Amino acid sequence: MSTLRFIRTCVFIEEQNVPVELEWDDADETAFHFLAYYHQEPVACARLLVSGQIGRMAVLEPFRCKGIGKVLLSAVINFAEKQNVAPVFLHAQNQAIPFYEKAGFKIKGVEFMDAGIAHHEMTYAPPNDGG
């Protein structure tokens, strides 16, 4: 858990100024946690709640735009599907909406604020295999 704490502290608390008391919650105790590595170095994390919500997805700044977030998100979605956790959804920071749209998420509802950052709820709509 210390690796997750380090990544989330760097991204959310230090970079985005999320208050410490909002970053850590009881959901961490029962969530599935994921780590992504780059050359054996942990550089990204995410969590999946039993409700199907993906959250606390963070990639350390030097490792962004390398495809790590895409691979991590795909792994979380695949795990959720195998565990029959559905529907998969998340609360995306507005600046990250294009990233999630490319992964198959669609905006649901109106903008809301969380920790002083504008977000939208997004639900996963897997691509249609049947054409």
Task: Give me the domains of the chain, ranges plus CATH numbers.
Answer: 2-124 (3.40.630.30)
Run means of pLDDT, 10 residues per run, the chain, 131 residues: 91 93 91 95 96 96 95 96 91 96 94 94 79 49
Edge to edge, the sheet with strand 53-59 lists: 32-38, 41-48, 53-59, 89-93, 117-124, 105-114
pLDDT digits (tens, 9 = 90+) for 89-123: 999 999 999 999 999 999 998 999 999 999 999 99
Which pLDDT score is estimated for 129? 53
55 SS3 class: strand
Give the end-to-end CA distance of the chain in Å, rounded to a whole number.
42
Q: Are 89 and 53 in contact (CB under 8 A)?
A: yes
Nearest to 45, CA basis, from 91, 54, 53, 19: 54
